[in-house]
């Protein structure tokens, strides 16, 4: 990847994450400000992890979604959490929602089976529900690009959940996924 491409990608990631953070911090929580809202750097790290696997076309499309949402007064975080609590009807009926959510869940389960001390399983299907509700906020164009990435990753034998966790560990300065798994395994023994 050229330095110019990397700079453009970093610029996209930065704006996406900062726009998401504004939405996240504006999301009301029953009982006041949520503990996670008091840690914006943790939010930034988790969202960077989430978006790290996307190519530039998907990132550009999603940034367009975020900009349009801001212009129209939508808050994707409020919508996602309201959908998770069944306080809103479905925001989309695209068949790509289940295709993406099922593939991402399979990636997570596979990665957790190989790195059980570092990567946590999809307990009670929470991950799939969370992701599907988030996906409902995306435009059809972004969903199509995301689905294409999923299909390409599968064809190439890549695991996006594993790639995301590698990114997070790198961001946290924790070393490789293999080293963290070995250290956790030996600490358990």
pTM assigned to the model:
0.91
pLDDT, the chain, mean:
91
More confident residue, 125 or 136: 136
CB atoms within 10 A of CB 88: 15
| pLDDT, tens digit (0-9, with 9 covering 90-100), for 50-73 | 999 999 999 999 999 999 999 999
Residue 170 pLDDT: 93
pLDDT value at position 113? 95
Token pair 């009926």: residue? 93
CA 8 to chain CA mean position, Å: 20
> Which tens digits make up the pLDDT trace of 25-52?
888 777 666 666 767 888 999 999 999 9
C-alpha–C-alpha distance, residues 163 and 124, integer Å = 23
**Which residue do the tokens 């998907």 mark?**
58
Q: Which of 119, 110, 103 is nearest to 178 (CA)?
A: 119
Looking at residue 58, its pLDDT comes to: 97
Contact predicate 124/171, CB 8 Å:
no
Are 146 and 96 a contacting pair, CB within 8 Å?
yes
């Amino acid at each position: 990847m050229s330095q110019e491409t990397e700079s453009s990608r970093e610029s996209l990631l930065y704006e996406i994450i900062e726009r998401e953070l504004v939405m996240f911090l504006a999301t009301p929580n029953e009982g006041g400000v949520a503990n996670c809202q008091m840690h914006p750097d943790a939010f930034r790290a988790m969202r960077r992890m989430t978006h790290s696997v996307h190519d530039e076309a998907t990132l550009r499309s999603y940034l367009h979604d975020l900009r349009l949402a801001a212009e129209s007064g939508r808050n994707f975080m409020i919508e996602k959490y309201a959908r998770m609590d069944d306080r809103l009807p479905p925001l989309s009926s695209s068949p790509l929602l289940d295709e993406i959510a099922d593939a991402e869940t399979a990636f997570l389960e596979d990665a957790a089976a190989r790195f059980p001390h570092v990567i946590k399983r999809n307990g009670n299907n929470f991950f799939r529900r969370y992701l599907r509700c988030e996906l409902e906020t995306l435009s059809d164009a972004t969903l199509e690009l995301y689905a294409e990435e999923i299909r390409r990753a599968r064809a190439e034998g890549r695991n996006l959940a594993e790639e995301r966790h590698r990114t997070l560990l790198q961001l946290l300065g924790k070393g490789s996924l293999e080293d963290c798994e070995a250290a956790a395994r030996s600490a358990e023994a």
